[in-house]
Chain A
Amino acid sequence: DTEVTQTPKHLVMGMTNKKSLKCEQHMGHRAMYWYKQKAKKPPELMFVYSYEKLSINESVPSRFSPECPNSSLLNLHLHALQPEDSALYLCASSPRGDGNSPLHFGNGTRLTVT
């Protein structure tokens, strides 16, 4: 079990659907991250929130919309996705968003776009 909780574990959605991925941590960490991971590939950074402000957007298409309602919660809103967006979406947190501390990962949401 991890201290970063992601829901749902699995999600199947059509290309016209709107859905959201949720992530929660209660470790008092002030940085939260979204990574995308395709099969047999490394995680690729999508977004970083530091002190509830978006600090890094790795040129992610606008069909992915992150939201950080408070320091414990992170959402990823999905709209009009493409089949190639099917992947494991990983949330992580760290004490600070400076790249100098370990990341704590959730177990991910396995997303399938049909």
Chain B
Amino acid sequence: SQQGEEDPQALSIQEGENATMNCSYKTSINNLQWYRQNSGRGLVHLILIRSNEREKHSGRLRVTLDTSKKSSSLLITASRAADTASYFCATDPRGAQKLVFGQGTRLTINP
């Protein structure tokens, strides 16, 4: 079974608004990663946050991690039409030496 659950499953917002996606996971982790996937393409790595970090920024992306709640959030500020994609969180369950992906959030940015 998948390690991560994401919500919402789908999100539709207007261009310029902020988009927030959440990820919850079940076991202890070393790190959590976020990926973007455009339709029919491969996944693109966005950001990696380690278990001893609480927040990380990259351009318009802000990721938080709460290991006590086993949850993470991805915030995309000032959204653009090009941000339309599916977003997945991925975790490495401790000792597993592999990445397991959450169910994903399909984000649509309306012009």
Interface residues of A (CB under 8 A from B): 2, 4, 40-45, 48, 55-56, 88, 90, 92, 97-108, 110
Chain B residues near A104: list those with CB within 8 A.
Answer: 45
B22-57 contact mask (Cβ, 8 Å, vs A): 1 or 0:
000000001101010000111111001000000000
Are A42 and B31 touching (Cβ within 8 A)?
no
The one of B45, B88, B97 that contacts A99, using a Cβ cutoff of 8 Å: B97
Known A105-B43, A108-B42; contact A43-B33, beta-carbon cutoff 8 A:
no
Interface with A: B11-19, B74-82, B99-107, which one? B99-107
Q: Which residues of A contact B42 (CB under 8 A)?
A: 2, 4, 90, 92, 105-108
CA distance A79 to B90 in the complex (A): 30
Can you list 20 A-B pairs with a CB-CB distance of less than 8 A? A2-B42, A41-B104, A42-B88, A42-B103, A43-B43, A45-B98, A48-B97, A48-B98, A90-B43, A98-B97, A99-B31, A99-B97, A99-B98, A101-B48, A103-B45, A103-B90, A104-B45, A105-B42, A107-B41, A108-B42
Known: A40-B106, A42-B2, A42-B104. 19 other contacts (CB 8 A): A4-B42, A42-B88, A42-B101, A43-B43, A43-B88, A44-B101, A45-B99, A45-B100, A48-B98, A56-B98, A90-B42, A97-B97, A99-B99, A100-B30, A100-B92, A103-B45, A105-B43, A108-B40, A108-B41
